[in-house]
Structure 1
Amino acid sequence: MFRSLLAAAGALSLAGAAASAQDNRNDRARDEARTVMRAFGACLVDHASMTGPHGRLVVFLNTPPTGRDGARTGTAVSDPECLTRASSYVSGVRMRFRADLLRGAVFRALYLQRGRTPIARAEIEPGFAQPETAVITALQHFGDCVVAGDATNADLAIRGAAGTAAESGAYQALAPVMGACLPRGRQWRFTREVLEGVLAEGLYRRTTAPAPAPHP
């Protein structure tokens, strides 16, 4: 059920006659899919059985969201109640969640609900060391850089309803910071689904980082 319900918003397709109408409908579909993803992530964070010490959600966050392990731990957090709740946000659209996008939705929920979740910051590992996760690590560094440069607009970008003018305005305000945070000589193109998760993880890590030890 996990794989049949959820989908990366970019994978949605709808039939349309005119190209402009098709684009608009696809944009709405992607925004709907992000809304579903957000709801699913928030529901998982609300479940103590998922978030207790060494719970399934902690294992999921500490597993690289790529390959077989990412799919396995993603399937393990497919709580039936949360699937039902999330699917109620849309009708007539068949979707699948991708582990990397679900990871971002969970971090968004952890950030927005910080202080009200049983997950301890120390339980979430700072990053991944495997060679195959180099891209994920680079995205984490990018998110940390953007949040350090403009945490206010990063917060506005992930907090607002999907597809609103306020959200678009926040991303436009972030554009100079995001450009400065890209690795030199590299050009990345982000979907908003990916970017939202990258910023959410950066915001969560920044706001829950341990305070520096006082100087003797």
Structure 2
Amino acid sequence: MKTGGGRRRLVFGALLAAAICAPAEAQETGTLIQRKAAQIQDRGKNAARLTMESFAQCLVSRSRGRVTKFAEMRVDDAAYGKYLRSLFDAAGDACLSGGQLQFNSVVFRGTVFQALYAAEFPTADAPVEFSTVASSGYRARYGDAVPDAARSALALEQFGECVARADGAGVRALLGANANSSDETARFNALVPRFSACIPKGETLAFSKIILKGALAEGLYWLSKAAESGAPAAP
């Protein structure tokens, strides 16, 4: 839905406050713990989020090639939805220890990019400064006229890329914080000044923590790939 700038920022501010300022239920800090299979979390309002992030980590560790193929697909590709669902279904037996997860394409995409970034850029010398990178190249995949089927996904990615370009170190630190920890909440709050300036023009973006973190992960991932490959320098 398109809105004027004032309305867009008002809606964003209310949603962001709800997503970030809720008190954390757990107080763990540090990097995410890699698990062979996700354990269903049956308590707490963020149980599904914790389980989904562990599930995505397992998927990336077991099927990196298939996940990389998915990451390269355009969202409006006729095969995109089927391929994404196939990744989710195929990983069920290996990556979920009992119970069921509900499939949500936006949430699943975001958690996969979190896990993919962690797998491909695990060391402290990963790029976090992108002033010399002219473009990640991701937006160019869709040409001048963005298809309706890709508009929301592209808006989230461009938002994440904008924030990552403004504060790559801050985004990387957020991605390394445990889900639902006080550390994660603090790192979200530290990035708030970057967020409102990065909403794509004409878009209203609704955020939960898991969707917001996924968007930031995808944006940082594509900028990091561009920096790694020696993308053309900014003028």
State the TM-score bracket (shorter-chain normalisation): 0.5 to 0.7
Matched, 1:198 2:215: yes
Higher helix share: 1
1:112-158 Cα deviation digits (max 9, x unpaired): 11168xxxxxxxx8355251212221211111100011122212222
Measured against aligned partners, the alpha-carbon deviations of 1:150-208 in whole angstroms (never above 9, x if no partner) come to 12221222221111111011111111100111235654331111111101111111222
Distance in 1, matches of 2:179 and 2:210, equals 10
Query: What residue is the counterpart of 2:64 in the other structure?
Result: 51
The answer to whether 1:72 aligns with 2:89 is no
Selected match of 1:83 from 84, 92, 95 = 92
CA RMSD of aligned residues (A): 3.1
Find out whether 1:152 has 2:169 as its counterpart: yes
- The one-letter amino acid of 2:86's match is A
Match of 1:62 among 69, 72, 88: 72
Which structure ranks higher in relative contact order (CA pairs < 8 Å, sequence separation ≥ 6)?
2
Gaps of 5+ in 2: 1-41, 123-136
The one of 2, 15, 28 equivalent to 2:44 is 28
Question: Quick check: 2:88–2:103 contact (8 Å CA) kept in 1?
Answer: no
Q: Secondary structure at the match of 1:190?
A: coil
Alignment of 1:35-184 (within 5 A): 35-47=50-62, 50-52=63-65, 56-64=66-74, 69-78=79-88, 82-84=91-93, 86-88=95-97, 94-114=100-120, 126-127=138-139, 129=142, 131-132=147-148, 133-184=150-201
Q: For residues 213 and 146 of structure 1, what CA distance do their matches in structure 2 show?
A: 20
- 8 Å CA contact 2:175–2:213 kept in 1: the answer is yes
CA–CA distance in 2 between the matches of 1:75 and 1:185? 30
Amino acid at match of 2:138: P
**How many residue pairs end up in the alignment?**
172
Aligned residue for 1:211? 230
Identity of aligned residues (%): 28
Q: What corresponds to 1:14 in structure 2?
A: none
SS at match of 1:77: helix
Gaps of 5+ in 1: 1-25, 117-124
